[in-house]
Amino acid sequence: MKKITLAGAAVIAAAAYVITSGTAPEITTSTPAEGQAIASVAVPESLSSDAVMGKRAFDAVCAACHGENAAGKQGFGPPLVHRIYEPSHHGDMAFQLAVQQGVRAHHWQFGNMPPQDGLTRADVTAIVAYVRELQRANGIN
């Protein structure tokens, strides 16, 4: 099985989940090529200082599987800019626990996410700030 990093965190997503209202990012209906983005993500013009730090950590540790701007990466990991990861469904602590303990695959077909070494609680808090700002910019509140 392929590894999923970080906030695949709460690797809980789509199989039976239906995207309903809002301006959530489009999930392609055709299967993107291996390594291509799964979702189309609008990036905000500016980020808070916490989110800027989170983006750096995300790019260094998470993007290998969750893709640039948390858009997912076909064959590697799910998009975190997706309604399944909205705060009311997967709170910030779910991201912390996923990094510390890993996550058993149960919705996406990417395999289990192993625990992520080398990230502090503060690193994950900043990563969550980045992901949440991306989500808000894409209509996921």
pLDDT tens-digit readout, 35-47: 899 999 999 999 9
Residue 2 lies in a domain: no
Percent of the chain with pLDDT over 70: 79
Please list the residues that pair with 77 across neighbouring strands.
73
Domain count, the chain: 1
44: domain CATH number is: 1.10.760.10
Cα 69 to Cα 34: distance, rounded to the nearest angstrom: 17
Radius of gyration in angstroms for the set of CA atoms belonging to the chain, rounded to a whole number: 13
pLDDT at residue 134 in the model: 98
Q: Above 80 in pLDDT, residue 31?
A: no
Compute the C-alpha angle 107/23/134, nearest 5°.
70
Q: What phi and psi, each to the nearest 5 degrees, are found at residue 57?
A: -65, -40
Cα dihedral: 118, 120, 122, 123 (round 10):
20
Q: What is the pLDDT of residues 45-103, one digit of tens each?
A: 999 999 999 999 999 999 999 999 999 999 999 999 999 999 999 999 999 999 999 99
Structural domain including 53 reads: 8-137
